[in-house]
Amino acid sequence: MTSAGKSVQNAASDAFEQLRGCQEILQQLEALLMALKDSAPQHSNQARLASLGAFVAMDHANVVNCFIEDYGRLLEGGVQ
């Protein structure tokens, strides 16, 4: 592999690690917001806001996971 090829591979690897870190943080945020929801009075504004935040965090974590999978297939020469 050429030096340029290794550089591109290293950049892609670093990008995947950043995406995985982002996904992990979003999953932790979801867990935190669910804990806040569970500790808030049922049907309160706090519980609803925490539930909404947890849903958004979960959705974004899922989007990041899709990026990881899609870009991984593209880099491996898979079907586009």
Q: Is residue 48 part of a domain?
A: yes
Instruction: Provide the domain count of the chain.
Output: 1
pLDDT at position 72, please?
Answer: 86
pLDDT at position 76, please?
Answer: 80
pLDDT at position 4, please?
Answer: 66
User: How far apart are the C-alpha atoms of 57 and 37, rounded to whole Å?
Assistant: 14
Q: Is residue 13 part of a domain?
A: no
Q: Is residue 32 part of a domain?
A: yes
Q: Is residue 47 part of a domain?
A: yes
Q: What is the 3-state secondary structure (H, E, C) of the chain?
A: CCHHHHHHHHHHHHHHHHHHHHHHHHHHHHHHHHHHHHHCCCCCHHHHHHHHHHHHHHHHHHHHHHHHHHHHHHHCCCCC
Q: Is residue 38 part of a domain?
A: yes
Find the domain containing 32 and state its range: 27-80
Q: Average pLDDT of the chain?
A: 90
Q: Is residue 33 part of a domain?
A: yes
- The tokens describing 44, both together, are 């309160």
Average pLDDT across each block of 10 residues of the chain; the chain has 80 residues. List them in order.
73 88 97 98 97 98 94 74
